[in-house]
Chains A and B, each alone.
Chain A
Amino acid sequence: MATAIVDLEYDQLPSELAGLTGYDYALILIRLRRRPVGHMRLPVINGRISGRAFRTALLEAVDWTFWEVWLHYYLDWEERFTDAYNPPTATVATCTRDRTDDLECLLNGLMQMPDDGQEILVVDNCPATDATQRLVERYPRVRYVKEPVPGLNNARNRALKEARHDIVAFIDDDAVPDSNWLRNLLCNYEDPLVMCVNGLTMPKEIETRAQEWFERYGAFQRGFQRRVFEKVFANPLDAGVCGAGVNMSFRRCVLDLVGPFDPALDTGTPTRSGGDNEMFSRVLAAGYRVVYDPAALSWHRHRRTWDELRQLLYNYGVGVVAAWVRTLVEEQDTNALSIMWNWIYTKQLRELFYALRGQPSSLPAELLLAQLRGSLAGPWAYLRARQQVTQSE
């Protein structure tokens, strides 16, 4: 059930889509003046999608975002920033561990971006070999730093400390940036209260069943509408809607104003994930803004095998709950209890119930069970991770 990924500019729509032999579906990203405004998933018949099917689907796929973007171009008006704004220079950081194939694709993609003076930093987290270092040596513009303490959040903190510019843009080593990714992230920092900007991440490929289901799970999709989150008096713990760590950026001063990424969270620790969401929550709770801008687009290679996907969902379950336990323990914020209960009851148990009943739109019960098991293991995972960090200090 392979799905072709097609990237189309609205002003240059073809009369039909051909050359899709071998694919059952096509996931089509629609752009307007290079800005993503919507997407649609269409069946491929004999390697093509007819113009009629395509345009009918397009009518339903485009929503207010499309019209808003079109209107802003028509009026030559941009809400986000003033004429006088000069976007800052940034450090692009990727944290990696023994994934040279993916990293090479990322570095090639970073080299294709316009050079606005950005620094590119690879943080190699507790590597088993020197393969990453040798790879990075082939790219003179890229700086290599080794972080010996295992843990993705340790690597992120190291990136924030090593960065030479005031904005640090993180991208995962299994993702590739769009050509204007960095510029579209940086223009959101005109507002001094914006501490974090996240972008849209689309799949780079959907070749396997696991990748298909991950995309249906919601993956990194947060929609095509630019949103500014200011949740200090709402619910800053519900930060998953703000974006994902695969494509995020922060002001460096977040280290001083909000604090570093928690080393007890995310990959490389017993908590396995959740470090990005927890940081978004803390930024929001401190009274700053987080922006989600779909114009800052990157492409991600989802996990290919079913086992990897099941493990990933388990990891998400652990990490999400572990992050809330961290908030309960470190910040004494009892709102974490109610959000945990809602997450387990409405998100987990209810979806599992629908899946077991065989509802067509549900995720496979096997995946939901993995996530639920992870959620239940979350609190203990956090306490173990916290103990490890304390011992290592």
Chain B
Amino acid sequence: MATIKSMISIIITTNTVGLEIGQILKALSEQAYNPLQMEVIVATNAAPVQLPEEQMRQYPFDVRFIDQVYQNSDEGRNLAAAQAQGDLLLFLNNEVAPQPGLIRAHVEAHGRNPGGAVFGAETLNWSKSLSYLAMWVRLEQGRRTQAMRQAGYRFTYRDVPANNLSLSANLFSRLGGFDPGCPSVGDQNFDLGLRLITAGVPLYFAENALVERRTLFDTEAWSRLQEQAGCIDVILAGRYPELQPHLKLGSYFRPTWRASRILRFLVFSQPRIGQWMAARLLQRLRLYERRKMRWRWRWLFDTLTDYWYWRGVKATLNSEQELASFLAENLDWLEPTGREIELDLIYGLDAAEQRLNDERPASVRLTYGQHPVGHITFQPGAESLRGEHLRPLLATNLAMPFLQALTLNEVLCGNKLANQTPSIFNGRQQGVIYADQGS
């Protein structure tokens, strides 16, 4: 179990764009954590790091540099982790600056929740004038962070980052580390997330474990990220076929708006024309921003995001036919897997939550006495259901059917509820509603 005396190895991977390693080491030396319990390993991909001797002596912890060449950051992380001596491994990169309290927040989270994986968040960008893209990224980031802070949030593989992530060295070794064959998309490593969830490793969000992004995030970086996402989705769909319907990859043949349809078609059939069009549309995007045409900007941004994603897919699957065959191949694997249980909520919410904690099913059919409430279907890539997940679902996705069931049970069966029941009901009769956990 991690304590404030645990030895922690901080593994930093660098790329050419990012902070000087000296700035990150300075931020780490200002952490309120015993430097004797820390070591820092920097994987530089053979890029030279020029730090003067006097500066190196100032750092109170041990710093080592790995100058081997590697293909991508995940391989660099594995190389560094192999040399780490700490009980805990904390992964960072040189695009973010550690904020005060980062290390302590990770260690304390492990102390409260042993055997899990802990990840933190990025501070939000509070600059006064932001581009529309930066605003959009900030809103998305804020939305995700706020959702993860709520009790009862159900983590998915897409929540697991490769940056600002900590787990025990033993666990990392058991899982086999990062897979360089399925690299990270930006700061997210979906493959590691899936392996953590499949292995039943609990995930924890430490909201005080903060890093600050210092690198510029522009449309060029965004387009590269989307292309990576397209490539990785092909790999994920091949390795985890049950994910396919939930990936964007599986939506290629579904209806979409005209501009997207045209661009998707061009990606596979006339890529050069597609590139030319995308470049023109990018100029149009900048014009919309200058003229504050917000909803048009958003619409065009979504269209271009879609285009870049499919360009990434094309890097692996060269034609529409190949894509169609790939998707068809995996259809046989699309049977839901995992245990399903039935829960009758008439025995009380506490009892239902306890049963979920004991059995951790993949899906649940909920009833209230004789009345159906809903079906929480299997969600690939999401952690198994826990008791904490129940109330948020009943309060939101299943609110209407649950209320109907409560009232019908009292009216038809005359059963009194433990809590007070309203004596007036103005509800509408509806069929059973199935919770859609994919959205």
Which residues on A are within 8 Å of B, measured CB to CB? 10-11, 55, 58-60, 62-63, 67-68, 70-72, 74-77, 79, 82-83, 191-193, 230, 232-236, 253, 256-258, 286-287, 331-335
Instruction: State which of B138, B394, B399, B403 has its C-beta within 8 Å of the C-beta of A287.
Output: B138
**A-B interface pairs (CB < 8 A), number:** 89
Nearest B residue to A259 via CB reads: B128
Cα–Cα distance between A82 and B207 once the two chains are bound (Å)? 11
On whether the beta carbons of A58 and B291 are closer than 8 Å, the reply is no
Which among B41-49, B144-152, B187-195, B267-275 touches the partner chain? B144-152
A70 and B422 contact, CB distance less than 8 A: yes
The reply to whether A83 and B395 form a contact with Cβ atoms under 8 Å apart is no
Asked if A257 and B126 sit within 8 Å, CB to CB, the answer is yes
Q: Does B283 contact A (CB under 8 A)?
A: no
Residues facing A in B374-430 (CB within 8 A) are 391-392, 394-396, 399, 402-403, 406, 419-420, 422, 424, 426-427
Beta-carbon contact of A192 and B124 below 8 Å: yes
CB pair B151–A82 under 8 Å, yes or no, is yes
Interface check B333, CB cutoff 8 A: no
CA distance A233 to B136 in the complex (A): 9
* 27 sample A-B contacts, Cβ–Cβ < 8 Å, listed by A number: A59-B426, A60-B426, A67-B399, A67-B422, A71-B394, A71-B399, A71-B402, A75-B349, A75-B391, A76-B391, A79-B150, A79-B395, A82-B150, A82-B151, A232-B132, A232-B135, A232-B136, A232-B139, A233-B132, A235-B295, A253-B126, A286-B130, A287-B130, A287-B136, A331-B292, A332-B292, A333-B292
Contact residues on B (Cβ < 8 Å of other chain), bracket: 35 or more
Q: Is the CB–CB distance between B395 and A75 below 8 Å?
A: yes
- Report if A83-B391 is in contact (Cβ < 8 Å); known contacts: A71-B399, A191-B142, A232-B139: no
Residue of B nearest to A82 (CB): B149
Q: Find chain A residues with CB under 8 A from B365 CB.
A: none
Evaluate contact between B399 and A77: CB separation under 8 angstroms: no
| Whole-angstrom distance between the Cβ of B65 and the nearest chain A Cβ | 36
- Contact assessment for A234 and B295 in the assembled complex, using a CB-CB cutoff below 8 Å: yes
Cβ 8 A contact of B139, one of A76, A193, A236: A193
| Chain A hits for B150, CB < 8 A | 79, 82
Instruction: Please report the C-alpha to C-alpha distance between residue A62 and residue B292 in the assembled complex, in whole angstroms.
Output: 40
Which among A11, A60, A191, A256 is the interface contact of B128 at CB below 8 angstroms?
A: A256
**Residue on B nearest A70 in the bound complex, by CB:** B422
Interface of chain B residues 276 through 324 with chain A (CB within 8 A):
291-295, 297-298
Structural contact, A11 and B420, CB atoms closer than 8 A: yes
Distance A286 CA – B426 CA, assembled complex (angstroms):
41
Determine the residue in chain B with the shortest Cβ distance to A232. B135
* In the complex, chain A residues whose CB is within 8 Å of the CB of B297: 233
Question: Which of B130, B142, B292, B402 meets A193, CB within 8 Å?
Answer: B142
Q: Are B128 and A77 in contact (CB under 8 A)?
A: no
A10, A63, A287, A333 interface centre (most CB from chain B within 10 Å): A287
B108-148 residues with Cβ-Cβ distance < 8 A to A are: 124, 126, 128, 130, 132, 135-136, 138-139, 142, 146
Chain A residue nearest in CB terms to B390:
A75
Give the nearest-CB partner of B150 in chain A.
A82
- In the assembled complex, which residues on chain A have CB atoms less than 8 Å from the CB atom of B399? 67-68, 71
- The residues of B that contact A11 with a CB separation of less than 8 Å are 420
B403 touches A71 (CB 8 A): yes
CB distance from A293 to the nearest CB of B (A): 16
- How many whole Å from B259's CB to the nearest CB in chain A? 17
Closest 4 CB pairs of A and B: A287-B135, A233-B298, A193-B142, A77-B391
Residues of B within 8 A of A60 (CB): 426
Cβ–Cβ contact B395 & A232, under 8 A: no
Are A67 and B142 neighbours in the complex by a CB distance under 8 Å? no
Partner of A230, one of B139, B293, B295, B392: B139
Q: Residue of A at shortest CB range from B134?
A: A287
CA distance A183 to B297 in the complex (A): 38
Contacts of A10 in B (CB 8 A): 422
Determine how close the nearest CB of chain B comes to the CB of A99; give it in whole angstroms.
Answer: 36
Q: Are A334 and B424 in contact (CB under 8 A)?
A: no
Would B419 and A74 count as touching, CB distance under 8 A? yes
Q: Please indicate the chain A residues that have their CB under 8 angstroms from the CB of B132 in the complex.
A: 232-233
A56 to chain B, nearest CB (A): 10
Q: In the assembled complex, which residues on chain A have CB atoms less than 8 Å from the CB atom of B419?
A: 74
| A76: chain B residues within 8 A (beta carbon) | 391
A236 to B291: give the CA distance in the assembly, Å: 14
Q: Give the interface centre of A68, A75, A82, A235 by most chain B CB atoms within 10 Å.
A: A75
Residues of A within 8 A of B402 (CB): 71
How distant is B300 from chain A, measured CB to nearest CB, in Å? 11
**B144 CB, nearest partner CB in chain A, Å:** 12
Most B CB contacts (10 A, CB to CB) among A233, A234, A253 go to: A233
State which of B292, B395, B422, B424 has its C-beta within 8 Å of the C-beta of A72. Answer: B395
Q: How far is the CB of A333 from chain B (nearest CB, A)?
A: 5
- In the assembled complex, how far is the CB of residue A159 from the closest CB belonging to chain B, in whole angstroms? 21
CB B187 to nearest CB in A, in angstroms, measures 20
Distance of A257 Cα from B146 Cα, bound (Å): 21
Partner of A77, one of B293, B392, B422: B392
A154–B419 CA distance with the chains assembled, in angstroms: 51
Residues from chain A with a CB closer than 8 A to the CB of B139 are: 193, 230, 232, 287
Min Cβ gap B305→A in Å is 13
Contacts of B292 in A (CB 8 A): 331-335
Residues of chain B within 8 A of A193, CB atoms compared: 124, 138-139, 142, 146
A77-B391, A233-B136 known; A67+B427 contact, CB < 8 A = yes
Is there an interface contact between B395 and A71, defined as CB atoms closer than 8 Å? yes
